[in-house]
Amino acid sequence: MEEEFEFGFSEDPKFSVERYEEMIRNHDQYFFDAQAFENIIDYYIEKNDPAKALQVVEYACNQHPFAAVFLIKQAQLMVVTNRVSDAFLALEKAALLEASDADIYIIRGNLYENMERYAEALENYEKALELADETDEILLHISYVHQNMGDYNTAITYLKMCLQQNMENQDALYELAFCYDVMDNQEESVQFYQQYIDSEPYSYAAWYNLGNAYTKLSLFEKAIDAYDYAILIKDSFASAYFNKGNALVNLEKYAEAIEVYRQTFEYEQPNADTYCAIGECYEKLEQMDDARAFYKKAVKMDSKLADGWFGIGVTLDFEERYFEALHFYKKALDLDIANADYWFAIADAEYKLGHMVEAEHAYEKVVELNPIDVDAWLDYSSILYEQTRLSDAIEVMSQAIKNNPEAAELYYRMVAYLFAFGDYKEALNFLELALSSDPEKHYILFDYLPQLQKNKVILDIINRYCK
């Protein structure tokens, strides 16, 4: 006959686990009270061993068949082990025993949320709200559902309610920033975080999100002040240093940015993005050896970081090492084939190497990917003009104007091409369009065709617009 022992809640949790493991080894049957079983289950959950935790739950359910807590634990563990149907069954049984336990509806809400059955998820979360003592996490989940449904206004409402319940809920603060970002409503974001900071001045997350909102509004000085407060409150906040560095870059304060980026290394492992950002600062300062050294560190750490390879190319291009630059530009392009900036750099390098066919192909790609890049259209047409392919240059300029009807410099370039082609009537029509768009830029025409400065007809038209 098996001997049955009883272990109660007064036992040390570690002792309960040891006795449970002894019972399993001996194929014995000990009795544990509910608290002891909860301790044992939690121990295995913390050890990330859901299979063993589920085994304990089976024993607990057998010894305490009317304790809903174990059915709820069972459901949680079945969610983790992807046994969705079994989780729903366990929750049904738990609801029969203890219908007022909010966890039942929270877990069921999670299940429906993961299945994208949002109406049922919301129904369960609303029920949980009625029953739970602390509701901030439930409100956060309701916000997630509304985000998944694309209803960001309602999501924001629930996030604000969540923060009213618990001002220190960091997830809610970051989610709120995300929602405002999606809605491109940075002004309201700034207003919210300023009000929040009035009542919670030591929230580093709020200062950080305020800094991010200012950054998106291009208010970089204010952003830096906000990041400084975040760092003052939490001096190990690496993301605040990194974003402060980005704000300094936008203000063209590259040397200061380098120092701030370097500070992140005191609080987290150096990463490829930060090395790349430092490399870009040195590049802007025209310290190409230092720039290249940091770009190399970046790609050594992450060989798939296209911007790092591209940066190496830029430093070589600066030194007129176009053939070597091209190699690194192409490595970047292999990782990001639809990047117009990479194609533009390749086009320029191919042109400088005298590879006109390759340059033309690359420019075609640039304007296809980014048809509003006026400089790309100008350069593309220019290489055709240099090869005396005037009708092709005019056709490219025509496409450029269709895509950028407000860009006066395109009209002036078209005037130059039409004059060179001998189509004076059309040239004068485009000159009128160019001057009515932006008369100050008429010098572009003379830069390209200096001989036109002696053309009385053209000078008369220009004088008419420039008075």
For residues 239-264, give the mean pLDDT. Answer: 96
- The pLDDT value recorded for residue 10 is 44
The three-state DSSP-derived secondary structure of 223-268 is: HHHHHHHHHHHCCCCHHHHHHHHHHHHHCCCHHHHHHHHHHHHHCC
The confidence band for 345, taking pLDDT boundaries of 50, 70 and 90, is very high
Sign of the four-CA dihedral 222, 224, 228, 234: positive
Number of H helices, E strands in the chain: 27, 2
Name the residue ranges covered by the structural domains of the chain.
399-467
Where is 7: in which H helix or E strand? strand 4-7
Decide: 338 and 369 in contact? Cβ < 8 Å: yes
Over the stretch 363-417, which tens digit does the pLDDT of each residue have? 999 999 999 999 999 999 999 999 999 999 999 999 999 999 999 999 999 999 9
Q: Which of 4-13, 157-166, 342-351 has the highest mean pLDDT?
A: 342-351
- The pLDDT value recorded for residue 358 is 97
Alpha-carbon 178 to chain mean position: 10
The confidence band for 27, taking pLDDT boundaries of 50, 70 and 90, is low
d(CA 406, CA 306) in angstroms, rounded, equals 33
Cβ burial of 338 (10 Å; 0-12, 13-18, 19+) is exposed
d(CA 231, CA 204) in angstroms, rounded, equals 7
- The pLDDT value recorded for residue 240 is 96
Over the stretch 373-385, which tens digit does the pLDDT of each residue have? 999 999 999 999 9
- The pLDDT value recorded for residue 57 is 67
Residue 97 pLDDT exceeds 80: no
d(CA 27, CA 442) in angstroms, rounded, equals 95
The 8-class DSSP code of residue 218 comes to T
* pLDDT > 70 fraction of the chain, expressed in percent and rounded: 85
Closest C-alpha to 431, from 451, 406, 455, 458: 458
Alpha-carbon distances of 404 from 101, 342, 370, rounded to whole Å: 62, 21, 11
d(CA 417, CA 171) in angstroms, rounded, equals 58
**Count of CB atoms within 10 A of residue 34's CB?**
15
d(CA 129, CA 139) in angstroms, rounded, equals 8
Alpha-carbon distances of 94 from 134, 194, 202, rounded to whole Å: 20, 44, 42
Burial 263-291 (b: 16+ CB within 10 A, else e): bbeeeeeebbbbbbbbbbbbbeeebbebb
For residues 319-347, give the mean pLDDT. Answer: 97
- The pLDDT value recorded for residue 36 is 67
How confident is the prediction for the chain on average, in pLDDT? 87
For residues 418-445, give the mean pLDDT. Answer: 88
For residues 104-131, give the mean pLDDT. Answer: 86
Alpha-carbon 279 to chain mean position: 21
Alpha-carbon distances of 351 from 323, 363, 382, rounded to whole Å: 11, 10, 11
3-state secondary structure at position 5: strand
Lowest mean pLDDT among 93-97, 318-322, 409-413: 93-97
- The pLDDT value recorded for residue 26 is 57
- Which of the two residues, 50 and 208, has the higher pLDDT score? 208
Question: Can you give the pTM of this predicted structure?
Answer: 0.75
The confidence band for 73, taking pLDDT boundaries of 50, 70 and 90, is confident
Angle at alpha carbon of residue 426, lines to 421 and 429, rounded to 5°: 140
d(CA 453, CA 465) in angstroms, rounded, equals 16
- The pLDDT value recorded for residue 445 is 84
Residue 145 pLDDT exceeds 70: yes
**Count of CB atoms within 10 A of residue 368's CB?**
12
**Count of CB atoms within 10 A of residue 341's CB?**
18
d(CA 235, CA 410) in angstroms, rounded, equals 51
Q: How far apart are the first and last CA of the chain?
A: 114
- The pLDDT value recorded for residue 99 is 79
Torsional class of 354: left (φ above 0), alpha (ψ -120 to 50), beta (otherwise): left
For residues 215-243, give the mean pLDDT. Answer: 96
Residue 211 pLDDT exceeds 50: yes
Angle at alpha carbon of residue 177, lines to 176 and 182, rounded to 5°: 95
Residue 1 pLDDT exceeds 50: no
- The pLDDT value recorded for residue 135 is 87
For residues 172-194, give the mean pLDDT. Answer: 91
